[in-house]
Amino acid sequence: MNILLLIPIVLPIVAGIHILKRNYKEPKSREKFVSTAVIVNAIIVILLSLFARGTQLTLLPIIPNNPIQFKLDNLGAMFASVVSLLWILCIYYSFEYMKHEGDENRFFGFYVMTFGVMMGITFAANLVTLYLFYEFLTLATIPLVMHGDSIQAKTATRIYIIFSVFGAALALMGIAMIAFAGNGSTAFAAGGILPKVLTGATILQVAYLFTFFGFGVKSAVMPFHAWLPCASVAPTPVSALLHAVAVVKAGVFAIARVTYFTIGPDLLRGTIAQSVALGACIITIVYGSAMALMSQHLKRRLAYSTVSQLSYILFGIVLMSADGYIGGMVHLFGHAIVKITLFLCAGAIIYKTGREYVWELKGIGRAMPVTMIVFTIASFALVGIPPLPGFFSKWYLTVAAFHNQGNALGYAGLVALAVSALLTAIYLFSICVNAFMPGNGFDYEESNKGVRDPNRYMTIPLTILAVAIVLFALCLPSLINILSL
């Protein structure tokens, strides 16, 4: 049974290499192979998540006390399952969208490989294994960010590489310090593995800040956020995964592992390291929302929104309490579904109209009703209108901030959440209102002549995502039960 943990990691990587080497000439043949590989892998992930939790596999003892090791715990199983299901929807959406981008073999090759790398991150049993696949993730996504080889794409890729290398160096130093403090081990266990005598120790605080900001580069924590809006030049299916389930969530996932499964919150609660991390989250929450409001480019607006929303998750994690952890994790999963929906809606608009700016979307709701209704549902969810996903996560985050004793930054976080919610409502609802109610005298026929929703390859995934957003509340009790420490 243990060896089965390798299949979801290896299968997509081998399939991606096959796509690159085969260089399919017929789109239908490539689509059949890609969809089969992704669906089979998703089924294996879900079956393992249901029936193989606690299974552990040790491969290579590269570093003493830190072998290449995989283990499927509750957090990893849930994250892997959500990633797998969203990957299926993105793949089908991409079959249509990538027709106007070109170089589809390269795209689908690396797109499928990235799926396997993400499974390596979610299944990792220690920080060394996680870090190894975290670096592979950067390598696998560079060709995706650079897809199209335009000047803007090359510039975005250079920025992405520079930030990623810097973040990786910080994280590596932090991991080495954690290993030194923990007698060489960086294994994951609920509550952490380090001895209580290290509570508040300077070496742990420094190590935590190194890992927080190192992994925080991919989580777009200020001042290391600039790469993410730049990367919005990538094809929309890439942006959707970057912002929803792959790169940025890998950073958040890694910080959660360090905080709750390696060092442990009890050793860090009330320290300067916690205050610095909280301060960075609070600033990023407000800054990202303000920049989203100011941006008129649709995908960049959504990118800055991601900058802000990721720090909602990190804020919950860094509060280092049970409610904070639950709030952060609920927002992680809710945001994954909601943000991938918003990006895919934006992609549908760009694909059918070529319009990329907010002011160009007046009256488009009548021409593309499915796309804009789904966009509106996702907007309500991100703002936090009950009973949609954003409401529940913000409830837990608010409760956790109120209960954060001895740290005034918890209350500052409440203010940041309120300000961000208001700004989020403005920058998303303004799009929805103008799409459906552009004002008296608006010429629908002239402004949106020939515009309509895309075909079923794109609208079916959008519809499924909208249903998932609406039904999220029904899954919430089970999600909280699984994720509780």
One digit per residue, the tens of pLDDT, for the chain of length 485 reads: 688 999 999 999 999 999 998 877 788 899 999 999 999 999 999 999 999 888 899 987 878 888 999 999 999 999 999 999 999 999 999 998 888 777 788 889 999 999 999 999 999 999 999 999 999 999 998 988 887 767 888 888 899 999 999 999 999 999 999 998 877 889 899 888 888 878 878 899 999 999 999 999 999 899 998 988 888 787 888 888 776 778 888 999 999 999 999 999 999 988 999 999 999 999 999 999 999 999 999 999 999 999 999 999 999 999 999 899 999 999 999 999 999 999 999 999 999 998 989 999 998 998 999 999 999 999 999 999 999 999 999 999 999 988 875 567 888 999 999 999 999 999 999 999 999 988 887 877 778 888 899 999 999 999 999 999 999 988 888 888 888 76
Could you tell me if 227 and 99 lie in one domain? yes
Query: E-strand spans in 227-329?
Result: none
Q: How far apart are CA 380 and CA 337, in angstroms?
A: 13
Could you tell me if 274 and 244 lie in one domain? no
Could you tell me if 171 and 285 lie in one domain? no
What are the backbone angles phi and psi of residue 63, rounded to the nearest 5°? -120, 135
Could you give the number of structural domains in the chain?
A: 2
Work out the number of other CB atoms within 10 angstroms of the CB of residue 205. 19
Q: What is the CA radius of gyration of the chain?
A: 21
Could you tell me if 187 and 332 lie in one domain? no
Could you tell me if 421 and 468 lie in one domain? yes
Could you tell me if 402 and 436 lie in one domain? yes
Could you tell me if 62 and 128 lie in one domain? yes
Distances (CA, A) of 437 to 267, 351, 365, 433, 440: 53, 23, 8, 5, 8
Query: E-strand spans in 320-470?
Result: none
Domain that holds residue 277: 269-485
Torsional sign, CA 22, 27, 33, 35? positive
Distances (CA, A) of 151 to 118, 158, 227, 355, 458: 28, 11, 15, 20, 28
Torsional sign, CA 382, 251, 108, 3? negative
Could you tell me if 213 and 318 lie in one domain? no
Last residue of a domain, one of 230, 261, 292: 261
Six token digits for residue 267: 């050793």
In contact, 97 and 458? CB cutoff 8 Å? yes
Q: How far apart are CA 188 and CA 343, in angstroms?
A: 33
Stated as kind and residue range, the H or E segment containing 69 is strand 69-71
Work out the number of other CB atoms within 10 angstroms of the CB of residue 364. 25
Q: Which residues pair with 124 in a beta bridge?
A: 70
Q: Which residues pair with 357 in a beta bridge?
A: 297
pLDDT, position 178 = 92
Residue of 169, 160, 167 whose CA lies nearest to 139: 160
Peptide bond into 461 cis (omega under 30): no
b or e along 441-472 (b: 16 or more beta carbons within 10 Å of the residue's beta carbon)?
A: eeeeeeebeebebbeebbbebbebbbebbeeb
pLDDT, position 133 = 94
Last residue of a domain, one of 261, 278, 312: 261
Q: How far apart are CA 179 and CA 194, in angstroms?
A: 9
Could you tell me if 202 and 281 lie in one domain? no
Q: How far apart are CA 228 and CA 324, in angstroms?
A: 25
Could you tell me if 40 and 142 lie in one domain? yes
Q: Which residues pair with 56 in a beta bridge?
A: 71
pLDDT, position 2 = 85
In contact, 438 and 367? CB cutoff 8 Å? no
pLDDT, position 354 = 87
Could you tell me if 414 and 380 lie in one domain? yes
Q: How far apart are CA 65 and CA 183, in angstroms?
A: 9
SS3 content of the chain, % helix, strand, coil (to 5): 75, 5, 20
Six token digits for residue 364: 């488009």
| DSSP character at residue 146 | T
Could you tell me if 281 and 248 lie in one domain? no
Last residue of a domain, one of 205, 231, 261: 261
pLDDT, position 157 = 87
